[in-house]
Amino acid sequence: MPANLPGGYYQTTIWNPLMKWTGERLVTQVNEYYTYEHLHRYFFAMDFVEAKAVLDVASGEGYGTFLMAAKAESVVGIDIDPAATEHAGNKYRQENVSFDTADICQLPFGPDTFDVITCFETIEHLTAHEAALDSLKRVLKPGGILLISTPDSESTHHLASRGRNPYHPKELNLAELTELLEKRFKHLSILYQKTINASVMVNAKSEKSNLTEYRGDFKGFTSHNPVDQAQYFVAVCSDEQIGVQLNNSLVTYNSTKKSLIEKIVFRVKNSFRQT
Protein backbone atom coordinates (compact mmCIF):
# COMPACT_ATOMS: atom_id res chain seq x y z
CA MET A 1 0.00 0.00 0.00
CA PRO A 2 1.39 3.47 -0.81
CA ALA A 3 2.70 5.11 2.33
CA ASN A 4 0.66 8.31 2.01
CA LEU A 5 -2.73 6.59 1.91
CA PRO A 6 -4.68 5.60 5.03
CA GLY A 7 -5.35 2.05 6.06
CA GLY A 8 -8.42 0.50 4.48
CA TYR A 9 -8.10 2.67 1.40
CA TYR A 10 -8.18 -0.35 -0.87
CA GLN A 11 -11.29 -1.82 0.70
CA THR A 12 -14.27 -1.64 -1.63
CA THR A 13 -17.34 -3.79 -1.91
CA ILE A 14 -17.20 -7.29 -3.38
CA TRP A 15 -19.60 -6.02 -6.06
CA ASN A 16 -17.16 -4.86 -8.69
CA PRO A 17 -18.31 -5.38 -12.30
CA LEU A 18 -16.60 -3.61 -15.14
CA MET A 19 -18.29 -0.59 -16.62
CA LYS A 20 -18.67 -0.78 -20.39
CA TRP A 21 -16.08 1.24 -22.32
CA THR A 22 -17.68 3.35 -25.05
CA GLY A 23 -14.91 5.89 -25.64
CA GLU A 24 -16.86 8.67 -23.92
CA ARG A 25 -15.33 8.23 -20.47
CA LEU A 26 -12.36 6.40 -18.99
CA VAL A 27 -12.95 3.10 -17.19
CA THR A 28 -10.47 1.24 -15.02
CA GLN A 29 -9.97 -1.78 -17.27
CA VAL A 30 -8.58 0.44 -20.07
CA ASN A 31 -4.80 0.87 -20.14
CA GLU A 32 -3.95 3.34 -22.89
CA TYR A 33 -2.03 6.63 -23.07
CA TYR A 34 -5.09 8.60 -21.97
CA THR A 35 -5.31 6.52 -18.79
CA TYR A 36 -2.25 8.36 -17.48
CA GLU A 37 -3.58 11.74 -18.56
CA HIS A 38 -6.66 11.24 -16.40
CA LEU A 39 -4.80 9.77 -13.44
CA HIS A 40 -2.22 12.56 -13.54
CA ARG A 41 -4.93 15.19 -13.11
CA TYR A 42 -6.39 13.46 -10.06
CA PHE A 43 -2.95 12.87 -8.52
CA PHE A 44 -2.28 16.60 -8.99
CA ALA A 45 -5.61 17.43 -7.32
CA MET A 46 -4.60 15.55 -4.18
CA ASP A 47 -2.45 18.51 -3.11
CA PHE A 48 -5.60 20.66 -2.87
CA VAL A 49 -8.20 18.40 -1.25
CA GLU A 50 -6.76 17.61 2.18
CA ALA A 51 -9.62 17.76 4.76
CA LYS A 52 -11.82 19.58 2.23
CA ALA A 53 -15.39 19.21 0.98
CA VAL A 54 -14.92 18.27 -2.67
CA LEU A 55 -17.19 18.06 -5.71
CA ASP A 56 -16.02 15.86 -8.58
CA VAL A 57 -17.93 16.88 -11.72
CA ALA A 58 -18.49 14.27 -14.45
CA SER A 59 -17.22 11.58 -12.11
CA GLY A 60 -18.02 8.79 -14.58
CA GLU A 61 -16.80 5.40 -13.41
CA GLY A 62 -15.98 6.95 -10.01
CA TYR A 63 -12.26 6.20 -9.67
CA GLY A 64 -11.27 9.89 -9.31
CA THR A 65 -13.84 10.55 -6.61
CA PHE A 66 -12.57 7.49 -4.77
CA LEU A 67 -8.92 8.52 -5.09
CA MET A 68 -9.53 11.99 -3.65
CA ALA A 69 -11.54 10.56 -0.75
CA ALA A 70 -8.28 9.24 0.72
CA LYS A 71 -7.40 12.81 1.75
CA ALA A 72 -10.61 14.81 1.52
CA GLU A 73 -13.14 15.20 4.31
CA SER A 74 -15.88 14.30 1.83
CA VAL A 75 -16.24 13.92 -1.93
CA VAL A 76 -19.43 14.04 -3.97
CA GLY A 77 -19.20 12.71 -7.52
CA ILE A 78 -21.84 13.87 -9.99
CA ASP A 79 -22.52 12.68 -13.52
CA ILE A 80 -25.36 13.28 -15.95
CA ASP A 81 -25.59 9.55 -16.70
CA PRO A 82 -27.60 7.67 -14.03
CA ALA A 83 -26.02 4.37 -15.07
CA ALA A 84 -22.58 5.81 -14.29
CA THR A 85 -23.55 7.11 -10.85
CA GLU A 86 -25.29 3.84 -10.00
CA HIS A 87 -22.18 1.90 -10.99
CA ALA A 88 -19.87 4.22 -9.05
CA GLY A 89 -22.08 4.15 -5.97
CA ASN A 90 -21.98 0.36 -5.91
CA LYS A 91 -18.28 0.02 -6.64
CA TYR A 92 -16.91 2.73 -4.34
CA ARG A 93 -18.85 2.44 -1.11
CA GLN A 94 -17.14 4.55 1.50
CA GLU A 95 -18.38 6.78 4.32
CA ASN A 96 -17.03 10.02 2.89
CA VAL A 97 -18.00 9.30 -0.73
CA SER A 98 -21.36 9.77 -2.45
CA PHE A 99 -22.59 9.95 -6.03
CA ASP A 100 -25.51 11.89 -7.50
CA THR A 101 -26.99 12.17 -10.97
CA ALA A 102 -26.92 15.84 -11.95
CA ASP A 103 -26.37 18.30 -14.78
CA ILE A 104 -23.34 20.56 -14.44
CA CYS A 105 -25.47 23.52 -15.51
CA GLN A 106 -28.04 22.87 -12.75
CA LEU A 107 -26.10 21.56 -9.79
CA PRO A 108 -28.48 20.46 -6.98
CA PHE A 109 -26.46 22.05 -4.16
CA GLY A 110 -26.79 25.25 -2.21
CA PRO A 111 -24.47 28.23 -2.68
CA ASP A 112 -21.02 28.07 -1.12
CA THR A 113 -21.09 24.29 -0.51
CA PHE A 114 -17.67 23.04 -1.64
CA ASP A 115 -14.08 23.98 -0.84
CA VAL A 116 -12.71 22.36 -4.01
CA ILE A 117 -14.32 21.41 -7.31
CA THR A 118 -12.65 19.17 -9.89
CA CYS A 119 -14.04 19.43 -13.40
CA PHE A 120 -11.74 17.41 -15.62
CA GLU A 121 -12.45 16.92 -19.33
CA THR A 122 -16.06 18.00 -18.99
CA ILE A 123 -16.95 21.35 -20.56
CA GLU A 124 -15.96 20.23 -24.06
CA HIS A 125 -18.86 17.75 -23.80
CA LEU A 126 -21.37 20.62 -23.90
CA THR A 127 -21.86 24.00 -25.56
CA ALA A 128 -23.38 25.88 -22.62
CA HIS A 129 -20.01 26.88 -21.19
CA GLU A 130 -21.20 30.10 -19.57
CA ALA A 131 -24.02 28.33 -17.73
CA ALA A 132 -21.68 25.54 -16.61
CA LEU A 133 -19.10 27.94 -15.16
CA ASP A 134 -21.81 30.01 -13.44
CA SER A 135 -23.17 26.85 -11.85
CA LEU A 136 -19.74 25.76 -10.63
CA LYS A 137 -18.95 29.20 -9.21
CA ARG A 138 -22.29 29.31 -7.36
CA VAL A 139 -21.63 26.15 -5.34
CA LEU A 140 -17.96 26.97 -4.67
CA LYS A 141 -17.21 28.57 -1.30
CA PRO A 142 -15.66 32.05 -1.29
CA GLY A 143 -11.94 31.48 -1.71
CA GLY A 144 -12.55 27.93 -2.87
CA ILE A 145 -10.58 26.35 -5.69
CA LEU A 146 -11.80 25.13 -9.06
CA LEU A 147 -9.51 22.67 -10.86
CA ILE A 148 -10.65 22.42 -14.46
CA SER A 149 -9.17 20.84 -17.57
CA THR A 150 -10.22 20.73 -21.19
CA PRO A 151 -8.53 19.93 -24.54
CA ASP A 152 -6.79 22.70 -26.48
CA SER A 153 -8.71 23.03 -29.73
CA GLU A 154 -5.61 24.48 -31.45
CA SER A 155 -3.08 21.91 -30.23
CA THR A 156 -0.79 20.40 -32.86
CA HIS A 157 0.08 17.43 -30.62
CA HIS A 158 -0.32 14.24 -32.64
CA LEU A 159 -2.78 12.84 -30.08
CA ALA A 160 -4.89 16.02 -29.87
CA SER A 161 -8.57 15.74 -30.76
CA ARG A 162 -8.86 19.07 -32.59
CA GLY A 163 -12.62 18.66 -32.59
CA ARG A 164 -12.61 15.17 -34.06
CA ASN A 165 -13.91 13.49 -30.89
CA PRO A 166 -17.63 12.86 -31.49
CA TYR A 167 -18.32 13.46 -27.80
CA HIS A 168 -16.82 16.99 -27.90
CA PRO A 169 -19.31 19.41 -29.50
CA LYS A 170 -17.26 22.48 -28.50
CA GLU A 171 -13.56 22.47 -27.63
CA LEU A 172 -11.86 25.71 -26.54
CA ASN A 173 -8.58 27.42 -27.28
CA LEU A 174 -6.49 29.17 -24.63
CA ALA A 175 -8.04 32.60 -25.20
CA GLU A 176 -11.59 31.24 -24.95
CA LEU A 177 -10.87 29.28 -21.76
CA THR A 178 -9.05 32.24 -20.18
CA GLU A 179 -11.95 34.58 -20.91
CA LEU A 180 -14.45 32.19 -19.33
CA LEU A 181 -12.40 31.83 -16.16
CA GLU A 182 -11.19 35.41 -15.74
CA LYS A 183 -14.79 36.64 -15.82
CA ARG A 184 -15.47 34.63 -12.67
CA PHE A 185 -12.19 34.36 -10.75
CA LYS A 186 -9.74 37.02 -9.62
CA HIS A 187 -6.74 34.72 -9.78
CA LEU A 188 -5.95 32.22 -12.51
CA SER A 189 -2.98 29.96 -13.23
CA ILE A 190 -2.90 27.66 -16.25
CA LEU A 191 -0.69 24.59 -16.65
CA TYR A 192 -0.05 22.71 -19.88
CA GLN A 193 -0.40 18.92 -19.97
CA LYS A 194 0.61 16.56 -22.72
CA THR A 195 1.17 12.83 -23.10
CA ILE A 196 4.68 11.82 -24.15
CA ASN A 197 7.12 8.95 -24.42
CA ALA A 198 10.17 10.45 -22.81
CA SER A 199 13.49 10.31 -21.03
CA VAL A 200 13.95 12.69 -18.11
CA MET A 201 17.30 13.94 -16.78
CA VAL A 202 17.18 15.59 -13.34
CA ASN A 203 19.85 17.44 -11.39
CA ALA A 204 20.73 15.33 -8.32
CA LYS A 205 20.54 18.50 -6.19
CA SER A 206 17.01 19.33 -7.27
CA GLU A 207 14.38 19.78 -4.62
CA LYS A 208 11.08 17.93 -4.97
CA SER A 209 9.34 21.23 -5.64
CA ASN A 210 11.22 21.62 -8.93
CA LEU A 211 9.54 18.61 -10.46
CA THR A 212 7.23 16.00 -8.97
CA GLU A 213 6.94 12.44 -10.22
CA TYR A 214 3.69 10.60 -9.53
CA ARG A 215 3.57 6.81 -9.42
CA GLY A 216 0.28 5.02 -9.09
CA ASP A 217 -2.87 3.62 -10.58
CA PHE A 218 -6.62 3.63 -9.99
CA LYS A 219 -6.14 2.45 -6.40
CA GLY A 220 -3.75 5.14 -5.24
CA PHE A 221 -0.51 6.96 -5.81
CA THR A 222 2.70 8.20 -4.23
CA SER A 223 4.70 11.30 -5.08
CA HIS A 224 8.48 11.26 -5.49
CA ASN A 225 11.54 13.28 -6.32
CA PRO A 226 12.33 12.18 -9.90
CA VAL A 227 15.91 11.31 -8.89
CA ASP A 228 14.52 8.35 -6.92
CA GLN A 229 15.12 5.01 -8.69
CA ALA A 230 16.94 6.59 -11.61
CA GLN A 231 18.55 4.04 -13.95
CA TYR A 232 21.71 5.94 -14.83
CA PHE A 233 24.19 8.57 -13.68
CA VAL A 234 25.30 11.37 -16.01
CA ALA A 235 28.27 13.30 -14.63
CA VAL A 236 29.74 16.66 -15.67
CA CYS A 237 33.38 16.98 -14.55
CA SER A 238 36.05 19.69 -14.72
CA ASP A 239 38.99 21.18 -12.81
CA GLU A 240 37.43 24.58 -13.37
CA GLN A 241 34.09 26.03 -12.26
CA ILE A 242 31.39 24.57 -14.47
CA GLY A 243 29.81 27.51 -16.24
CA VAL A 244 26.78 25.66 -17.56
CA GLN A 245 23.63 25.58 -15.45
CA LEU A 246 22.51 21.99 -14.98
CA ASN A 247 18.82 22.30 -15.74
CA ASN A 248 16.30 19.49 -15.53
CA SER A 249 15.51 18.36 -19.05
CA LEU A 250 13.14 16.14 -20.95
CA VAL A 251 13.50 14.44 -24.32
CA THR A 252 10.29 13.37 -26.02
CA TYR A 253 10.20 10.80 -28.77
CA ASN A 254 7.81 8.83 -30.92
CA SER A 255 6.55 5.45 -29.80
CA THR A 256 9.07 2.63 -30.18
CA LYS A 257 6.34 0.08 -30.83
CA LYS A 258 6.83 -1.78 -34.11
CA SER A 259 4.37 -3.73 -36.19
CA LEU A 260 4.94 -7.42 -36.79
CA ILE A 261 6.16 -6.68 -40.34
CA GLU A 262 8.62 -4.07 -39.04
CA LYS A 263 9.98 -6.58 -36.52
CA ILE A 264 10.44 -9.24 -39.22
CA VAL A 265 12.18 -6.78 -41.56
CA PHE A 266 14.48 -5.71 -38.74
CA ARG A 267 15.44 -9.31 -37.92
CA VAL A 268 16.09 -10.13 -41.56
CA LYS A 269 18.31 -7.06 -42.05
CA ASN A 270 20.07 -7.70 -38.78
CA SER A 271 20.92 -11.28 -39.77
CA PHE A 272 23.05 -9.97 -42.67
CA ARG A 273 25.01 -7.53 -40.55
CA GLN A 274 28.61 -8.28 -39.64
CA THR A 275 29.44 -8.90 -36.00
Same domain? For 82 and 214 the reply is: no
Cβ contact 137:113 at 8 Å: no
Sequence-ordered list of residues with C-beta below 8 angstroms from that of 229, at least 6 positions apart, any chain: none
Same domain? For 50 and 146 the reply is yes
Regarding predicted confidence, which is higher, 158 or 16?
158
Cα–Cα dist 5/143, whole Å: 27
CATH number of the domain where residue 61 is located: 3.40.50.150
- Let me know if residue 157 belongs to a domain: yes
At 15 the pLDDT is: 44
pLDDT of 8 strictly over 60: no
Last residue of a domain, one of 147, 182, 217: 182
27 lies in a domain?
A: no
Is the domain of 177 the same as that of 74?
A: yes
CA trace torsion 176, 182, 184, 186 (10° rounding): 170
Q: Are 79 and 101 in contact (CB under 8 A)?
A: yes
Q: In this structure, are 56 and 126 located in the same domain?
A: yes
Angle at 59 between CA 3 and CA 170, to 5 degrees: 130
Is residue 1 one of the residues assigned to a domain? no
- Whole-number Å distance between alpha carbons of 96 and 162: 38
**Does the pLDDT at position 13 exceed 60?**
no
Tell me the pLDDT tens digit for each residue of 109-144.
Answer: 999 999 999 999 898 989 999 999 999 999 999 999
Q: DSSP readout, 89-146?
A: HHH---TTEEEEE--GGG--S-TT-EEEEEEES-GGG-S-HHHHHHHHHHHEEEEEEE
174 and 239 inside one domain: no
Q: Which of 156, 182, 208 is the last residue of a domain?
A: 182
Are 219 and 260 contained in the same domain? yes
Q: What is the pTM of this model?
A: 0.77
pLDDT of residue 264: 81
**What pLDDT, on the 0 to 100 scale, is given for residue 34?**
66
Residues 170 and 258 grouped into a single domain: no
Angle between helices 174-182 and 129-139 (to 10 degrees): 40
Are residues 148 and 208 both part of a single domain? no
Residue 4 has pLDDT above 60, yes or no: no
Q: Are residues 228 and 110 in the same domain?
A: no
Q: Beta strands 220-224 and 213-217: pairing type?
A: antiparallel
Whether residue 58 contacts residue 120, with contact meaning beta carbons closer than 8 Å, is answered with yes
Indicate the pLDDT class of residue 244, thresholds 50, 70 and 90: confident
pLDDT digits (tens, 9 = 90+) for 39-96: 888 999 998 999 999 999 999 889 899 999 999 999 999 999 998 899 899 888 899 9
Of the residues 148, 182, 216, the one at which a domain ends: 182
Beta-carbon count within 10 A of 58 CB: 21
Rounded to the nearest 5 percent, the helix, strand and coil shares of the chain are 25, 20, 55
Domain that residue 215 falls in = 197-271
Indicate if 164 and 64 belong to the same structural domain. yes
Give the range among 137-151, 184-198, 202-216 with minimum mean pLDDT. Answer: 202-216
What is the number of domains present in the chain? 2
Q: What is the pLDDT of residues 143-172, one digit of tens each?
A: 999 999 888 888 877 777 776 777 678 988
**Sign of the Cα pseudo-torsion (266, 272, 274, 275, in order):** positive
Residue 7 lies in a domain: no
In this structure, the answer to whether residues 63 and 154 fall within a common structural domain is: yes
Same domain? 65 vs 132? yes
60 and 84 Cβ atoms separated by less than 8 Å: yes
